[in-house]
Amino acid sequence: MGMTIAEKILAAHTQTAGFQPGDIIKVDVDVALANDITAPIAIQEFRKSGQARIAHPDRVVFVLDHFTPTKDIASANQCKYVRDFALEQEMEHFFDGGEAGVEHALLPEKGLVLPGDLVIGADSHTCTYGALGAFATGVGSTDLAAAMVTGQAWMKVPSTRKFVFKGVLGPWVGGKDLILYLIGKIGVDGALYRVMEMEGPAISALPLSDRLSMSNMAIEAGGKAGIIAADAKTLDYVKPRATRPYTVYQSDPDAVYESVTTFDCTDIEPQVAFPHLPENARPVSQAGDVRLDQVVIGSCTNGRIEDLQVAARIIRGQKVAKGLRCLILPATPSVFRQASREGLIDIFLDAGAIVGPPTCGPCLGGHMGILAKGEKGLATTNRNFVGRMGDPASEVYLCGPAVAAASAVTGRISAPQEVVK
Q: What is the pTM of this model?
A: 0.94
5-16+24-262 folds as Aconitase; domain 3 (3.30.499)
Q: What is the pLDDT of residue 94?
A: 97
Per-residue model confidence (pLDDT) at position 60: 97
Q: Is the model's pLDDT at 420 over the cut of 80?
A: no
The confidence score (pLDDT) of residue 69 equals 87
pLDDT of residue 1: 75
Q: 16: exposed, middle or buried (C-beta count within 10 Å: 0-12, 13-18, 19+)?
A: middle
Q: Is the pLDDT of residue 145 over 70?
A: yes
Which residues, listed in sequence order, are joined to residue 80 by a DSSP beta bridge?
none
Taking the CA atoms of residue 340, residue 341, residue 347 and residue 352 in that order, the dihedral angle to the nearest 10 degrees is: 20
Domain ranges, ordered by start, for the chain: 5-16+24-262, 271-414
Residue of 324 and 69 predicted with greater confidence: 324
Residue 96 has pLDDT above 80, yes or no: yes
d(CA 300, CA 339): 16
- pLDDT confidence band for 68 (50 / 70 / 90): confident
What is the pLDDT confidence band of residue 366, given thresholds at 50, 70 and 90?
Answer: confident
- 5-16+24-262 and 271-414: identical CATH topology: yes
Report how many helices (DSSP H) and strands (DSSP E) the chain contains, helices first: 14, 18
Under the banding of pLDDT at 50, 70 and 90, the label for residue 364 is: confident
d(CA 179, CA 270) in angstroms, rounded, equals 11
Mean pLDDT of the chain: 95
pLDDT range class, residue 268, cuts 50, 70, 90: very high
- For 333-352, what is each residue's pLDDT tens digit? 999 999 999 999 999 999 99
C-alpha pair distances (Å), 221 with each of 186, 196, 269, 291:
7, 9, 20, 28
The count of residues in the chain is 421
Sheet hosting strand 135-138, strand order edge to edge? 94-95, 60-63, 31-35, 118-121, 135-138
- Per-residue pLDDT at 401: 97
Answer for the pair 144, 55: CB distance below 8 angstroms, yes or no: no
- Segment 113-122 mean pLDDT: 98
Compute the average pLDDT of residues 159-176: 96
Which pLDDT score is estimated for 421? 65
What confidence tier does 258 reach under pLDDT thresholds 50, 70, 90?
Answer: very high
Homologous superfamily, domain 271-414:
Aconitase, domain 3 (3.30.499.10)
> Does the structure show a pLDDT above 90 at 159?
yes
Dump pLDDT digits (tens) for 377-409: 999 999 999 999 999 999 999 999 999 999 999
CB 318 within 8 A of CB 348: no
Answer yes or no: are the C-beta atoms of 412 and 292 closer than 8 Å: yes
DSSP codes joined into one string, 357-376 = -S--GGGGT-SSSPBPTT-E
